[in-house]
Amino acid sequence: MLVFVYNADSGLFNALGDIARRVFSPHAYPCNLCGLTYSIFGMRREWTQFLLTLYSPYEFLHRDEFEERYGIEGEPLPAIFVNDGEKLSVWITASEIDSCKNLDNLKRMIMDRLSIPAD
């Protein structure tokens, strides 16, 4: 299973603060995974359609949810982990996600790691 972890905490007030930061200071926003996959109106349609093509189950967690569920703190986020049922390993690092300049870059990185040919 792929575990996508945002560098943001869950909850309504955190979400509202994140939206404000993305609108008023997008370059200072600490979660490129959020910035690439969400607009201020919700998850991008292109991203939701891409997720339907994955050959792997996945889940999305906020930083606080990830720490609570897996007991891991201090891992640079955002990141994508792989959970093989016994252990959780970093699959795509925060620096790799941060290097993605657009959603297509992120999708290509995921497809390459999963060995899915491009359309």
pLDDT digits (tens, 9 = 90+) for 46-56: 999 999 999 88
Say if 34 falls within a structural domain. Answer: yes
Say if 13 falls within a structural domain. Answer: yes
Question: 3-state DSSP call for residue 36?
Answer: helix
Say if 119 falls within a structural domain. Answer: no
**pLDDT at 82 (0 to 100):** 95
Say if 73 falls within a structural domain. Answer: yes
pLDDT digits (tens, 9 = 90+) for 62-96: 999 999 999 998 999 999 999 998 999 999 999 99
For residues 47 and 29, what is the distance between their CA atoms, to the nearest angstrom?
19
Q: Which distant-in-sequence residues (6+ apart) come within 8 Å of 9 by Cβ?
A: 62, 63, 64
Residue 22 structural domain: 2-114
Total number of domains in the chain: 1
For residues 48 and 54, what is the distance between their CA atoms, to the nearest angstrom?
10
Say if 28 falls within a structural domain. Answer: yes
Say if 98 falls within a structural domain. Answer: yes
